[in-house]
Structure 1
Amino acid sequence: MTTQIDSQTDPTGVRIELDHVSKVYPGAQQPAVDDVSLDIPAGEIVVFVGPSGCGKTTTMRMINRLSEPTSGRILIGDEDALSIKPTELRRSIGYAIQQAGLFPHMTIRQNVGLVPGLLNWKRARVDDRVDELLDLVGLEPAQYADRYPRQLSGGQQQRVGVARALAADPPVLLMDEPFGAVDPITRSTLQDELLRLQGELRKTIVFVTHDFGEAVKLGDRIAVLGQQSKVLQYDTPQSILASPADDTVAGFVGSGASLRQLGLLRVKDVALESRPSVHRGDSVEQVRATIAGSDCDWAVVLDDRERPVSWVRENRLRHAASLADAVERLDVVSTQSTLEDALEAILAEQHASAVVTGPAGRYEGVVTLDTLIDTITRLRTEADGAGDGPS
């Protein structure tokens, strides 16, 4: 098993400590958050997961004082968060929420550059930073910077939301169910993008979700929270899946724990296989020749930047006037995707393999159903072996 972060990259994030933190709203009989203590390591993704209304969002929002703690202490790096002016604190912490929260009357450039502008960065520096970040989250600056949020898809808006949260290069990023309002395929793509970014940036990220599968995929550590944000278990995804602390945590893990082990491994952790590829400008004759020279009856179609855009079966080329007449829609996974994502893509595509992309979305190969079956078998064997140890 691998961790989510690259040990060769020094973290740019800082440690966060919640020390006996509580929140009591005026007039409330019970605290919304009751005596929470957590140590969040620098450069890791820590996911708060729990049922609706348990206080996980309030706990996270106390870190940047959008919700003021009633008692306790919060350290960000070596500084007490309560000793910093709230406006200064919030400008030093990235914050991304569901449905992006972009200002509709501002362009994408203005949205992303908002916090650097408030910090009195020079205009040229802000523009350079915006271009850098849009490119980092996979949005071509020349194409998207001058658009308005309404002109973007939900997934694109979420990418802009992440870019805006990173604009002033904060050491800490808070994310409150940021991908919860998009469709499952887009959600998986955004999760992969976050993991890719984290591999490069190594911020300290606190991520709130009610989806345990998302927590397993993203988290270096998971804090399973009960009512009033009581910490039921705080550990790595591997440890929680293998040994839930109590029946409540076991309920979050669910009955599919053995299959969910696929959520702990990345596509990059298994061997990829090659499959024929063609380019969308190729003629039907060229494509048929490529497929005929392989052991497959289909090929991946790439654009001029070597990114997969569709796939084509040999039998659809027989009566096609052009390649465009024969291609079919393609769902891809990335090297950052989990093997669980790959299995879902294989079942959707119905040809026993999933196309894999790497840096800049370039074609890397395919992960096959046989590889996944072998991996599941190995995981089960290892789990059975661990269970046979001395009691």
Structure 2
Amino acid sequence: MADDNNTPAGGHGVEICLDEVSKRYPGQKLSAVESVTMTIPAGETVVLVGPSGSGKTTTMRMINRLIEPTSGKITIGGQDVLGLDPDKLRREIGYSIQQAGLFPHLTVGENVGVVPGLVGWDKKRIRERVDEMLDLVNLDPGEFRDRYPRQLSGGQQQRVGVARALAANPPVLLMDEPFGAVDPITRGVLQDELMRLQAELGKTIVFVTHDFDEAVKLGDRIAVLGERSKILQYDTPEAILANPADDTVAGFVGAGAALKQLTLRRVREIEVGQVPTATIDESPAVLKERLGTRRGAIGLVLDKRNRPLRWATAREAGAVSRLDRAGRPVEDSVALASTLQDALEAILTDDDGVAVVTGSRGEYVGVVDIDTVMNTIKALREEHAEDEPTEDQS
């Protein structure tokens, strides 16, 4: 499974199969996990969702043998994991947990380089990989490489945790509620980052959460688990939202299933708008001219890497000598991989009712406004109505 030559193909996702996998702890009358059978397709994100105590984390940890199965078979890329050395197995599987789990006495760079060092990479290769991984998770290597975890925000620590999990280019990434300990805004940003990374890297990701909305947003497939990891439904988010298998699954879906369809639509699927822009090193007069005289017109100030920094009107641009002082900061943005639900939340919290859309490296792509999202909701409701059976059909 390991990437021995650091080629991209070496880290592409592989299929994971669980066959009648169970875990029974000594002295316990019932199994913690009972006869789980499922196939996780190569290169997909599969989310295990269920209430606390359902066994979802135990099931995931048996994949890399942090917990040893009592019975059953687990294969990764066709290899029986029970026949592999457990330490070697874990070095070939990325693992990201809540609150990042970083080593506090190591710098960010040393944390990211831990697994490549364990598998024998030389110092030059590790150093290059550390910088590559930090850049991948949108942390400037020059700024963050030599910091310690305590000097980072919760969201930054979680990014480092993901970078460390991906550093040796593993085909499989296990994620145990990795974003559960951060605030809602940061959590949304980290979810967007994960979707962007997955679009680039194509890993096989097993993601544990108790949050069904997070499962719908991130998962190619969702496994809704009941007691002892009994699989109540294993399907695409669209199928589960449209046809919950039973009342328990319907309880997870909750009210507003039609509105949850916004979580299945990505910003990249709609036509984004544009506003006038100017880079930070241009004159305020340039942005003022581009905005013109239209009442309520607003533009964006971009940095030298084309990333959005500030919103400004013509009046605000004309009142300063430098554009880095104009208007107000861009507080929130959404990526092309973000959901329309994310876009709606960003729009509703913005003073002008507009959300900035950014690309894979945070560069400006366009904007989306409330009218665009409302038109999409209307279209989804019409689709939903067409799919509902009539009295004659039921």
Task: Pick which of 26-35 and 338-347 moved more.
Answer: 26-35
Contact 1:11-1:43 at 8 Å conserved across structures:
no
Residue 195 of structure 1 deviates from its aligned partner by: 0.9
Instruction: Give, in whole Å, the separation in 2 of the partners of 1:82 and 1:160.
Output: 30
Partner of 1:220: 220
Deviations 1:17-48 (Å, cap 9, x if unpaired)? 11111111111121111111111000000000
Contact 1:11-1:42 at 8 Å conserved across structures:
no
- 4+ residue segments displaced more than 6 Å: none
Instruction: Give, in whole Å, the separation in 1 of the partners of 2:21 and 2:43.
Output: 22
Is 1:114 the counterpart of 2:105? The answer is no
Residue 289 of structure 1 deviates from its aligned partner by: 2.0
Deviations 1:339-385 (Å, cap 9, x if unpaired)? 00000000000323211001311111111211111111111111111
Q: How does 1:337-352 map to 2 (within 5 A)?
A: 337-352=338-353
Partner of 1:84: 84
Partner of 1:378: 379
Task: Pick which of 191-200 and 41-50 moved more.
Answer: 191-200
Deviations 1:284-322 (Å, cap 9, x if unpaired)? 433322221667521112111110012123454565565
Shift of the 325–110 alpha-carbon distance from structure 1 to 2, 3 Å rule, reads: closer
Shift of the 295–15 alpha-carbon distance from structure 1 to 2, 3 Å rule, reads: farther
Partner of 2:18: 18
Partner of 1:43: 43
Residue 81 of structure 1 deviates from its aligned partner by: 0.8
Instruction: Give, in whole Å, the separation in 1 of the partners of 2:351 and 2:142.
Output: 37
Contact 1:108-1:145 at 8 Å conserved across structures:
yes
| Aligned pairs, number | 383
Give 3-state SS (helix, strand or coil) of 2:299's partner: strand
Contact 2:11-2:170 at 8 Å conserved across structures:
no
Is 1:243 the counterpart of 2:243? The answer is yes
Deviations 1:264-297 (Å, cap 9, x if unpaired)? 0100000011111123344443332222166752
Give 3-state SS (helix, strand or coil) of 1:128's partner: helix
Shift of the 332–172 alpha-carbon distance from structure 1 to 2, 3 Å rule, reads: same
Deviations 1:96-136 (Å, cap 9, x if unpaired)? 00111000111111111111111111111111111111111
Instruction: Give, in whole Å, the separation in 2 of the partners of 1:235 and 1:10.
Output: 28
Shift of the 229–28 alpha-carbon distance from structure 1 to 2, 3 Å rule, reads: same
Shift of the 25–258 alpha-carbon distance from structure 1 to 2, 3 Å rule, reads: same
Instruction: Give, in whole Å, the separation in 2 of the partners of 1:151 and 1:202.
Output: 31
Letter in 2 for 1:361: G
Partner of 2:336: 335
Percent identity over paired residues: 60
Shift of the 168–289 alpha-carbon distance from structure 1 to 2, 3 Å rule, reads: same
Shift of the 324–118 alpha-carbon distance from structure 1 to 2, 3 Å rule, reads: closer
5+ residue gaps, structure 1, are: 1-8
Q: TM-score, normalised by structure 2?
A: 0.93
Partner of 1:5: none
Residue 241 of structure 1 deviates from its aligned partner by: 0.5
Contact 1:10-1:202 at 8 Å conserved across structures:
no
Task: Pick which of 236-245 and 27-36 moved more.
Answer: 27-36
RMSD of equivalent CA atoms: 1.8
Partner of 2:4: none
Instruction: Give, in whole Å, the separation in 1 of the partners of 2:364 and 2:320.
Output: 25
Instruction: Give, in whole Å, the separation in 2 of the partners of 1:139 and 1:120.
Output: 25
Q: How does 1:48-59 map to 2 (within 5 A)?
A: 48-59=48-59
Task: Pick which of 316-325 and 109-118 moved more.
Answer: 316-325
Q: TM-score, normalised by structure 1?
A: 0.94
Instruction: Give, in whole Å, the separation in 2 of the partners of 1:10 and 1:120.
Output: 16
Contact 1:54-1:227 at 8 Å conserved across structures:
yes
Partner of 2:189: 189
Residue 68 of structure 1 deviates from its aligned partner by: 0.7
